[in-house]
Amino acid sequence: MRFLSLILGCLLFASIVHAQKGKREPLTEAQMDQIADAGGAPDARITLYAKFLDEHATVIKGLMNRIKSVARVHRLDDELEDFTALMDELGQNLDTYSERHADLRKSLKALTEATPRWHSLLRSIPGEAGFDLERKEAIESEEELADQATRLLTEQTEYFRVHKDEAGQERAEPK
């Protein structure tokens, strides 16, 4: 009976650990609060996402210089997963704000300058079995984000050239 209880306890623990792995949150509570506080200011939100991505990039770069170990591989896998999730979330925000014709040119310019750094970092990571899939997904996500930011910057530059009265707005109001 004791043995059965021990096995059930181990299975329960393993399922909890597995469930937590699938529910990673790439932002800290303080970062989530900052994003929420900037909710009505699209430029500020995009700038914050870029800042948090830079912070993750710094951690990833630091992990690359460490001695190879199981812990390093696991941490890199987690950081790359978080990095990808943040880029995807930023891309969704860009979609939402661009549909509203929010003037994002300032933050998009900074974002288009940041994506090559992230691309270079991700390409410099040598593939290892423990995190190669996350590395490839991060590269793909970064390339999509870079393309999206460049395309939106071009579209917005043209849009606000024609609609000068709407420049600087956070949301287009129906006329």
> Could you tell me the pTM of the whole model?
0.81
Model pLDDT for residues 95-128, shown as the tens digit of each residue: 988 888 888 999 999 999 999 999 999 999 988 8
Residue 116 token pair: 């090559």
Kindly state the helix (H) or strand (E) to which residue 61 belongs, with its residue range. helix 42-64
Model pLDDT for residues 47-92, shown as the tens digit of each residue: 999 999 999 999 999 998 888 899 999 999 999 999 999 999 999 9
Contact 106, 168 (CB under 8 A): no
Minimum mean pLDDT among 22-26, 136-140, 157-161: which range?
22-26
